[in-house]
Amino acid sequence: MSTATCLASATLGCGSGAKGPTEWAEGRHGVGPWEGPWPEDPRYDPELLERGDRRNVVDAYRYWSLEAINADLDAKRHPFHVAIENFENDMNIGTVVRTANAFLARAVHIVGRRRWNRRGAMVTDRYQHIHHHDTVGDLMRWAKEEGLAVVGIDNTPGAVPLETAVLPERCVLVFGQEGPGITGETRSAAAMTCSIAQFGSTRSINAGVAAGIAMHAWVRQHADLKQSW
């Protein structure tokens, strides 16, 4: 299995003052330079205190260093993972990463092509563990080693409606690409496949949207809502 982990990767250093193509424009949100005596808490980044913090983070993490934020997130992450098949260069992966960060998934797994468009992630890939697996088989072997139930998300005959399904607490939610859906290999290896109820004329919904719906279904069943922002 080939697995590469990218945590807080990237093109722009914390507190550098530079902006990457997916960072919010200055003035959209954020805070200016720290006013008053500087805090002694080691989690604060001196450069951010001096220049202000314009990052797309919740207020509780204002002025914190990237490393401090990730350490705090790692202590709270939920026991579900998200995987998306990337055999046709799916453009929705950035959205999946951003949503996984919002729902505090343990990690995002990309199966197939390593390259993906990071713009949709809105820099959240710096705060999210991301792993790569060359094949579906690699992902399934990893999940078995970790004791995680594999849950495929696809509107296929025999699928359990996500709206009524009981999702395993420790699991990996696997999404295919819009159109092809999950591969037959994923479907065969999955402990269960869940479908998302649709009522319109389209045959499928955006993979990024489907991922958000499924992650929220997990949150509704297992997350401690008192810990949400």
Picking from 84, 200, 74, 80, the residue whose alpha carbon sits closest to that of residue 153 is 84
Looking at the structure, tell me whether residues 126 and 176 fall in a common domain.
yes
User: Three-class SS of residue 108?
Assistant: strand
- pLDDT by residue (tens digit) across 53-76? 999 899 999 999 999 999 999 999
CA distance 173 to 190: 10
Q: Report pLDDT digits (tens) over 6-35.
A: 333 332 333 333 344 334 444 456 899 999
Q: How many domains does the chain have?
A: 2
Are 54 and 85 within one domain?
Answer: no
Kindly tell me if the per-residue pLDDT of 97 is higher than 60. Answer: yes
Closest to 57 (Cα-Cα) out of 31, 19, 27: 31
Sign of CA dihedral 121, 125, 131, 133: positive
Query: Residue 168 sits in which domain range?
Result: 77-224
Query: Are residues 152 and 142 both part of a single domain?
Result: yes
Residues 51 and 102 in one domain: no
Reading across the β-sheet that carries 107-112, which strands appear in turn? 130-133, 107-112, 80-86, 171-175, 149-153, 192-195, 160-161
Query: Is residue 89 in a domain?
Result: yes
Predicted TM-score (pTM) of this structure: 0.85
In this structure, the answer to whether residues 71 and 139 fall within a common structural domain is no
